[in-house]
Chains A and B, each alone.
Chain A
Amino acid sequence: MKLRPAKITGHLPATVAWVIIAAATLVAPLLLSTPQVIIYVTIGLATMVVAGLSLLMGFAGQVSLGQAAFYGIGAYSAAIMAVHGWPPLLALVLAPVITAAIAGLLGIPLLRLKGHALAFGTLAVQLIMLAVLSETPSLTGGAVGLSGVPTLKIGPIALTGYRQYAYLVWVVAAIVLLVSRNITRSRPGRGLRAMATAPSAASAAGVNVVTYKLRDFALSAAYAGLAGGIYAFFLGYVSPDAFPVMLSIEYVIMVVVGGLGTVSGAFVGAAVIMVISQVLSSIGSSPSLPPQLPNVLSEGVYAVILIAVLRLMPDGIVGLSSRLAKRVGSRFGAQRGEGGQSVEADVTVVAASSTADEPDAPAREAGAKPVNR
């Protein structure tokens, strides 16, 4: 696992690191300016969605090009319930449940698909969802969207300021990451990982491939739905334009950049891509330049980053840094195999989180042919 280098020198440094990260996350909103807090909230929301997609891509070995659809379903279900007078907190809690239920129903037929078929299938689902949202104005406000989402109240506290949202988002994101971490270390997590590399072997070893995949899919949708629900209250307004196909693609880029199937990769990928996009939009948004330039610039830069990461460090930033840490660790006398095995491991084999006790050969063999046709 990626925490192994820390184990070599003892548990303490990792714990200290996590405490520092947690403290920094909590102090940050106090130091940031209002526009920066908005970005900070957005990174937190993206982290949740990416954590779910990372479970799906890293563990079930499947690409979803429709993750923004679940983000949108969460946002719309929270907004619709709240606008119709349901208690906002209840609406927020139900949003991921509804999203997961829809994903579960969609997943029963959809998860028969693999590889490119699932990618296009999920993309089709998202486009159909956008069409449905625009065509049902009585419920969703149609193409114009749904405005007037009431203020979120948690007990006596009404969330009105951006800073309060920053705390809400990051507390929820931390819970989501913790759940992910526990799942990856549990039997279902190991089962899922086995499934990604060798589905037949996993199923022979007693992993119920269909159920695990479906649960994984529903859980990843629940994360997105939860983030979407918070988004609806944060903005007070939802419209189909907020959930374009490009957003789904951005999530995939964040997963790949952060590192597939790693829990911290979700945060790293979301943060790196969001910060880059903010830098680009501040460069590109000077009045003399065309208004669409920031978007286009970030699209182009995303594309270059995505391709560069896929070619040069297929296990993402987290995978790369843990490999470097491993190498440093082995220099300090630990009897550990070179981390080099994952250099040529591919994106679907969950390179970053492949453990040393996993046999290498079957993984590579399965990696050569993950789409069983």
Chain B
Amino acid sequence: MSAFLQYLITGIARGFLFALLATGFVVIHRVTKVVNFAQGAFAVLGGFIAYSLLRAGVPHGVSEAIAVLAAAAIGLVFGAITILGNMTPVGSLITTIGLAILSEAIAMIAWGTTPLTFSGIGGPDIQVAGVFLQTQYLLLIGVSLVVLVVLWLALDRTYVGKGMTSCASNPYAARLAGINVKRMGLLSFAIGGALGGLGGVLIMPLFPLTYDGDVSLSILGFAAAIVGGLTSPGLALVGGLVFGIAEQFVAGYWSPANESAVALGILLLLLLWQARRHRSEEIA
């Protein structure tokens, strides 16, 4: 029973990481129609920047905040490279693949190949129903939840949020309404970068990251985002939790070697199911 709870809570924590990444995918895709393969790189770079700042003696909180802002800035630069000028969605996807491997190269030159971690905030472990938990788990879940809810409200209720969504659904009309489509796209990349960076700084104390960890993070984030059809942040959270919990249960009860294969299998089925649904919508 306590093992079950342990897997569940670890899975939920991982799930929130995937949800943060997935929401990055959703925000960028909703505004620019681009699927950003470099989404996982934001987490790795953000986490590594926080690691360096903490080693340099910058206090907790400040380090993480700077790292998230830096990740947002990286997102902005990636966005500028990806969406400025004339690019098709597939061209943009290939560009973001290039950016992902570029960030891997940079991360390795700057931080090396060993997995990095730093101690989280939070003091003694707390006990929940017989399970000992680092406070960092609760911090990860709490902070992510607040950020995600605020972001949903901002996207749905504010003028800027509605403007961002309108860019993807009808760029021409959005421009007529006085919305700067490219600027909104850049903003979405900055938000995506910040969300990835936040995920990175929150997860690193619990799960060490390596310079090349971005691909699997991108795939799992994408998988979670696909649950909501790359447009719904709420379903992206659900997807993140499903993949996080599934990952931990497969690793715990079956074999860690199978965890990625199971996640990828679910991703494939989801993609195929949605392709079928889209087709039937087209016919109807």
A residues lining the B interface (CB < 8 Å): 61, 63, 65, 109-110, 112-117, 119-121, 123-125, 127-128, 131-132, 134-135, 245-246, 249, 252-253, 256, 290, 292-293, 296-297, 299-300, 302-304, 306-307, 310-311, 314, 344, 346-348, 367-368, 370-371, 373
Smallest CB-CB separation from B104: which chain A residue?
A: A299
Nearest CB of A to B204, in Å: 21
Q: Determine if B261 and A132 form an interchain contact, defined as CB atoms under 8 angstroms apart.
A: yes
Most buried by A among B86, B87, B91, B106: B91
Q: Which residues of A sit under 8 angstroms from B109, Cβ to Cβ?
A: 293, 296, 300
Nearest CB of B to A199, in Å: 11
How many of B's residues come within 8 Å of A, CB to CB? 44
B 202-232 contacts with A by CB, 8 A: 215, 219, 222, 226
Q: Determine if B94 and A252 form an interchain contact, defined as CB atoms under 8 angstroms apart.
A: yes
Q: Determine if A371 and B101 form an interchain contact, defined as CB atoms under 8 angstroms apart.
A: no
The prevalent SS among residues of B at the interface is helix
Q: Determine if A120 and B105 form an interchain contact, defined as CB atoms under 8 angstroms apart.
A: no
Nearest CB of B to A244, in Å: 10
B130 close to chain A: CB less than 8 A: no
Q: Determine if A128 and B88 form an interchain contact, defined as CB atoms under 8 angstroms apart.
A: no
Pick the residue among B93, B267, B272 that contacts A63 (CB under 8 A): B93
Q: Determine if A371 and B272 form an interchain contact, defined as CB atoms under 8 angstroms apart.
A: no
Q: Determine if B89 and A115 form an interchain contact, defined as CB atoms under 8 angstroms apart.
A: yes
Stretch at the interface among B135-143, B186-194, B274-282: B274-282
Q: Determine if B275 and A112 form an interchain contact, defined as CB atoms under 8 angstroms apart.
A: yes
Q: Determine if B88 and A303 form an interchain contact, defined as CB atoms under 8 angstroms apart.
A: no
Q: Which residues of A sit under 8 angstroms from B102, Cβ to Cβ?
A: 299-300, 303-304, 307
B173 close to chain A: CB less than 8 A: no
Q: Which residues of B sit under 8 angstroms from A304, Cβ to Cβ?
A: 98, 102
Q: Determine if B264 and A127 form an interchain contact, defined as CB atoms under 8 angstroms apart.
A: yes
Q: Determine if A371 and B89 form an interchain contact, defined as CB atoms under 8 angstroms apart.
A: yes
Q: Determine if A368 and B88 form an interchain contact, defined as CB atoms under 8 angstroms apart.
A: yes
Smallest CB-CB separation from B29: which chain A residue?
A: A116
26 A-B pairs whose Cβ atoms sit less than 8 Å apart in the complex: A63-B93, A63-B94, A112-B279, A113-B272, A116-B89, A117-B275, A119-B35, A121-B268, A121-B271, A124-B219, A124-B265, A127-B261, A127-B264, A290-B112, A296-B105, A296-B108, A303-B99, A303-B102, A306-B95, A307-B81, A307-B98, A310-B95, A346-B88, A347-B90, A370-B89, A371-B33
Q: Determine if B94 and A120 form an interchain contact, defined as CB atoms under 8 angstroms apart.
A: no
Q: How far is the CA of A11 from the CA of B183 in the complex (A)?
A: 51
The 8 A-B pairs with the shortest beta carbon distances in the complex, nearest first, are A300-B105, A303-B102, A116-B35, A306-B98, A124-B264, A131-B261, A112-B275, A303-B98
Q: Which residues of A sit under 8 angstroms from B81, Cβ to Cβ?
A: 307
| Contact A297 B105, CB 8 Å, known A63-B94, A119-B93, A120-B267 | yes
B177 close to chain A: CB less than 8 A: no
Q: Determine if B260 and A127 form an interchain contact, defined as CB atoms under 8 angstroms apart.
A: yes
Q: Which residues of A sit under 8 angstroms from B265, Cβ to Cβ?
A: 124, 128
Q: Which residues of A sit under 8 angstroms from B219, Cβ to Cβ?
A: 120, 123-124, 127
Q: How far is the CA of A345 from the CA of B215 in the complex (A)?
A: 30
Smallest CB-CB separation from B88: which chain A residue?
A: A346
Most buried by B among A113, A253, A302, A310: A310
Most buried by A among B35, B85, B264: B264
Q: Determine if B279 and A131 form an interchain contact, defined as CB atoms under 8 angstroms apart.
A: no
B66 close to chain A: CB less than 8 A: no
Q: Determine if B97 and A252 form an interchain contact, defined as CB atoms under 8 angstroms apart.
A: yes
Q: Which residues of A sit under 8 angstroms from B88, Cβ to Cβ?
A: 346-348, 367-368, 370
Q: Which residues of B sit under 8 angstroms from A115, Cβ to Cβ?
A: 35, 89-90, 93
B 106-147 contacts with A by CB, 8 A: 106, 108-109, 112-113
Q: Determine if A245 and B278 form an interchain contact, defined as CB atoms under 8 angstroms apart.
A: no
Given contacts A120-B222, A307-B99, 14 further A-B contacts (CB under 8 A): A63-B90, A63-B93, A109-B272, A116-B93, A117-B274, A249-B101, A299-B102, A302-B98, A307-B81, A310-B87, A346-B91, A348-B88, A348-B91, A371-B90
B257 close to chain A: CB less than 8 A: yes
Smallest CB-CB separation from B263: which chain A residue?
A: A124
| Contact A346 B105, CB 8 Å, known A121-B268, A125-B268 | no
Q: How far is the CA of A311 from the CA of B84 in the complex (A)?
A: 10
Nearest CB of B to A317, in Å: 16
Q: Which residues of A sit under 8 angstroms from B267, Cβ to Cβ?
A: 120-121, 124
Q: How far is the CA of A302 from the CA of B108 in the complex (A)?
A: 15
Q: How far is the CA of A61 from the CA of B272 in the complex (A)?
A: 19
B180 close to chain A: CB less than 8 A: no
| Contact A310 B98, CB 8 Å, known A112-B275, A120-B271 | yes
Nearest CB of B to A119, in Å: 6
Q: Which residues of B sit under 8 angstroms from A249, Cβ to Cβ?
A: 97, 101
Q: Which residues of B sit under 8 angstroms from A344, Cβ to Cβ?
A: 86
Q: How far is the CA of A307 from the CA of B222 in the complex (A)?
A: 22
Nearest CB of A to B239, in Å: 14
Q: Which residues of B sit under 8 angstroms from A127, Cβ to Cβ?
A: 219, 260-261, 264
| Contact A134 B257, CB 8 Å, known A123-B219, A252-B94, A303-B98 | yes
Q: Determine if A303 and B113 form an interchain contact, defined as CB atoms under 8 angstroms apart.
A: no
Q: How far is the CA of A312 from the CA of B265 in the complex (A)?
A: 37
Q: How far is the CA of A127 from the CA of B220 in the complex (A)?
A: 12
B 37-58 contacts with A by CB, 8 A: none
Smallest CB-CB separation from B272: which chain A residue?
A: A109
Q: Determine if A292 and B268 form an interchain contact, defined as CB atoms under 8 angstroms apart.
A: no
Smallest CB-CB separation from A57: which chain B residue?
A: B90
B258 close to chain A: CB less than 8 A: yes
Q: How far is the CA of A97 from the CA of B112 in the complex (A)?
A: 42
